[in-house]
Each structure stands twice: as structure tokens, then as C-alpha cells.
């Protein structure tokens, strides 16, 4: 089921991105994504059988492909290019707060009531989401800006993809995203497995803290990251994304101390905040005036999926074959290569 969801999301990223570019009503697409998540949760709650769960996973994959890009498109359509970095910093703050609050709330509901209640509450959260979405007036959204700065040209998807393929800065950025995910996606899962073997009595608590704590770091620093992206430029912050990867991998390789692991895992919040702002921001920079902002988001979404999938598989193989020390040094080396690519090839995209 997880494989079906992951592969479906990867296959749908690009066509859904093209769809977002072509549909002027971005609020409608956001509402569809919200309703799809709610219906998916209800299906999982009421009919947990193979065929129904399969449909639920497909619905969730569609919603996942819609939700992130369409929120970025709404942000660009609402504030324009000059204020986009500030808006994205605020978006990242509220996204992390939502993740943290939802994790705690759903955990409490599941503990005191039932697993089914988790899905029912998830479905119910669609109502306040749709109410909030309704507060945005359609007249506040510039439809041309929301798709990348000009009226969408009619043409085949292959022609649009060809134009994306000729966008050298965007392709360099896609390779950087792949390297980041290769290094980052498996780091905490591998550490969780190692910690369970070393200190099983503390592993669950430490892993829970390692998951939640970076969310609060993102919430605190994300708006400042948005402001810095406008003042310093994008390239410097991309470098900052990779430095914590190298530090985390080194500490994970050398230390078994839970306190050290939790402390260094907070650096993941720095990377997450920077990348959460920079991904849509660099895409907006590199596709400005093209009308293909959301299609490019789909292309980068595929890069994220490829990097994360390959990263977990490769890291798992290295860990099984050579042990924890080697796998963390391997992941840190991939992060160092990513930093080298940023410094050597990535141009500054801020105008």
C-alpha cells in the first residue's frame, strides 16, 4: 500500500502540476485536495479492506500532489514575486506548527479512543480548512502570477516539458534536491534502528523527540529564513541546507548519547526551514514569466521522490552490509557532494 501511494504520487506530480497551471481557480483545486484527504480518511476508517484502502491511497496521492503546489501558487498569486519569500517563510511556520499539533492531537485521540478515531478526526479537519480557504477572495489572487507570470499558452505537455528541460538553473536545482534527499531521507530512520539496538529503553522517547523538536525549530526560524532569502539571496541559504546534514551524520556516526542525538537533530529544523522556503522560491525565480510555475513544481516533486526512494534503499543496503558507522559517513559524504554542487554550479536566482 505504501509503495502504491509513493509511486502514484511520483507519477502524478508532473500532470497535476500542468493541471494547476491551466486551471485559473486555484481555490477550487485547494478545496478538491482537502476533500480528497477527508474522503480518503473516511474510507480508511469505515472500510479497511484491500480494494478500498487502495482507492484511499490513490485519493491521498492525488491530494498530496495538489496541496503543496496549489498553496505555493496561491501564495504567488496573492503577494507576487517581491513578497513571496516572506510569505513562504510564514507558510513554513504554520505548516510545522500544524504538523506538531496534529501529531500530538491525533496521538491523544488514538491513545484514549481508537485507531478509527484518528481517521475520523482527520476527516473532520476538512471543515475548518475549507472555512479558512473561503476567507480568501478570488479577486485577491492574480491568476497570471499564480501560474508563473503570464497567461498560459495552449500547447502539448511535451512542449512545456521541453521548455523546462532547457531551463539549466532549474535542472541544477533539481539535482541538488535529489542529493539532499539522498542524504537526508534515511538518516533519522537509520539512527532510529541503531538507537533501538544500543539503548532500547530510551529509543522510543528519543525518536519521538527527534521527530517533533525540529518542527518547532522550523516554526521559530522559518519567517527569518524567508527574510534572509530576500536579503542574502537563495544560493547562500542552499549552502546552509547541506551543512547540518554533514554535522548530523558525523555526530550520529560517533556518538550513542541520546542528549547529543537530540541536540544535533535540531539542526534538521534548520535544513527543513531553509528548504521549505527555497524550493518554491527558486522554482518561482527560474520560471518567472514562463507560465509553467506549477509544472516545474511537479518536476521538482519527482526529484524529491527519486532522491528519498533511492536514499532509503541505498542507506539500508549500506547499513546492512557495512554497519552504522559506514552508512552515516556515506550519507554525510552525499551531503558534502551536494554542498559542492551548490557552490560550484548553482547560480543565484534572486533578481
Determine the pLDDT at residue 202: 81
Examine the pLDDT at 131 and tell me if it is beyond 90: yes
Side-chain-side CA neighbours of 218 within 13 Å: the count stands at 29
The span from the CA of 229 to the CA of 235, in Å, is 9
pLDDT band at 275 (very low <50, low <70, confident <90, very high): very high
* pLDDT tens digits along 224-269: 999 999 999 999 999 999 999 999 999 999 888 888 999 999 999 9
pLDDT in tens, 291-340: 899 999 999 999 999 999 899 889 999 999 999 899 999 999 999 999 99
Q: Please report the pLDDT score of residue 283 as a whole number.
A: 96
Q: By mean pLDDT, which of 65-79, 143-157, 173-187, 225-239 is the weakest? A: 143-157
| Number of Cβ atoms within 10 Å of the Cβ of 155 | 11
Residue 350's alpha-carbon distances to 177, 270, 282, in angstroms, are 18, 21, 8
CA atoms within 13 A on the CB side of 98: 10
The CATH number assigned to the domain holding 50 equals: 1.20.1250.20
Side-chain half-sphere CA neighbours of 334 within 13 A: 27
State the pLDDT at residue 152. Answer: 55
- DSSP-assigned letter for residue 153: P
Residue 200 lies in a domain: yes
Cβ within 8 Å of residue 193, ≥6 positions away: 319
In a domain, 350, yes or no: no
Structural domain count, the chain: 1
Answer yes or no: is 271 within a domain. Answer: yes
Of the pLDDT bands very low, low, confident and very high (cuts 50, 70, 90), residue 154 is low
Q: What is the pLDDT, as a whole number, of residue 149?
A: 78
| pLDDT for the residue numbered 1 | 77
Does the residue 291 lie in any domain? yes
Residue numbers of the domain that contains 86: 2-137+160-345
User: Given a cut of 60, is residue 10 above it in pLDDT?
Assistant: yes
Helix, strand, coil % over all residues of the chain, rounded to 5: 85, 0, 15
- 212 assigned to some structural domain: yes
Please indicate, yes or no, if residue 148 is contained in any of the structural domains. Answer: no
Q: What is the structure's pLDDT at 58? A: 92
Spatial distance between the Cα atoms of 315 and 189, rounded to a whole number of angstroms: 10
Question: How much of the chain, in percent, has pLDDT values that exceed 70?
Answer: 98
What is the structure's pLDDT at 88? 96
- Digit-coded pLDDT (tens) for 201-211: 888 888 888 98
Evaluate whether residue 332 is within a structural domain.
Answer: yes
Mean pLDDT value across the chain:
91
> What pLDDT is recorded for position 255?
85
| Residue 155: predicted pLDDT | 65
Quick check: is 143 in a domain? no
Which of 302, 339, 331 is CA-nearest to residue 314?
331
In which band, very low, low, confident or very high, does the pLDDT at 153 lie, cut at 50, 70 and 90? low
For residue 52, how many C-alpha atoms fall within 13 Å in the half-sphere facing its CB? 11
CB distance 20 to 294 below 8 Å: yes
pLDDT in tens, 282-302: 999 999 988 899 999 999 999
Amino acid at each position: 500500500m505504501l509503495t502504491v501511494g509513493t509511486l502514484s504520487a511520483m507519477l502524478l506530480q508532473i500532470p497535476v502540476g500542468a493541471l494547476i497551471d491551466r486551471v485559473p481557480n486555484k481555490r477550487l483545486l485547494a478545496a478538491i485536495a482537502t476533500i480528497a484527504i477527508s474522503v480518503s480518511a473516511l474510507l480508511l476508517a469505515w472500510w479497511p479492506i484491500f480494494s478500498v484502502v487502495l482507492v484511499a491511497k490513490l485519493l491521498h496521492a492525488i491530494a498530496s500532489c495538489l496541496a503543496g503546489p496549489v498553496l505555493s501558487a496561491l501564495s504567488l498569486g496573492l503577494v507576487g514575486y517581491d513578497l513571496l519569500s516572506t510569505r513562504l517563510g510564514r507558510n513554513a511556520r504554520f505548516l510545522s506548527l500544524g504538523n506538531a499539533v496534529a501529531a500530538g492531537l491525533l496521538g491523544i485521540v488514538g491513545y484514549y479512543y481508537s485507531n478509527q478515531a484518528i481517521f475520523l478526526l482527520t476527516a473532520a479537519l476538512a471543515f475548518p480548512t475549507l472555512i479558512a480557504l473561503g476567507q480568501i477572495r478570488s479577486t485577491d489572487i492574480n491568476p497570471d502570477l499564480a501560474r508563473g507570470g503570464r497567461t498560459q499558452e495552449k500547447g502539448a505537455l511535451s512542449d512545456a516539458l521541453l521548455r523546462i528541460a532547457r531551463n539549466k538553473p532549474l535542472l541544477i536545482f533539481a539535482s541538488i534536491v535529489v542529493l539532499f534527499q539522498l542524504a537526508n531521507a534515511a538518516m533519522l530512520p537509520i539512527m532510529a534502528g541503531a538507537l533501538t539496538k544500543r539503548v532500547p529503553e530510551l529509543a522510543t522517547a528519543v525518536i519521538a523527540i527527534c521527530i517533533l523538536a525540529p518542527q518547532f525549530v522550523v516554526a521559530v526560524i522559518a519567517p527569518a529564513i524567508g527574510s534572509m532569502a530576500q536579503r542574502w539571496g537563495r544560493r547562500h541559504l542552499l549552502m546552509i541546507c547541506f551543512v547540518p546534514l554533514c554535522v548530523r551524520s558525523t555526530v550520529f556516526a560517533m556518538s550513542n548519547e541520546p542528549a547529543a542525538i537530540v541536540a544535533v537533530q535540531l539542526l534538521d529544523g534548520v535544513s527543513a526551514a531553509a528548504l521549505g522556503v527555497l524550493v518554491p522560491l527558486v522554482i518561482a525565480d527560474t520560471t518567472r514569466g514562463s507560465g509553467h510555475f506549477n509544472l516545474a513544481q511537479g518536476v521538482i516533486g519527482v526529484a524529491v521522490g527519486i532522491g528519498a526512494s533511492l536514499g532509503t534503499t541505498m542507506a539500508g543496503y549500506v547499513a546492512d552490509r557495512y554497519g552504522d558507522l559506514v552508512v552515516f559517513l556515506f550519507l554525510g559524504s552525499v551531503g558534502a557532494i551536494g554542498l559542492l554542487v551548490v557552490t560550484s554550479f548553482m547560480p543565484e536566482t534572486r533578481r
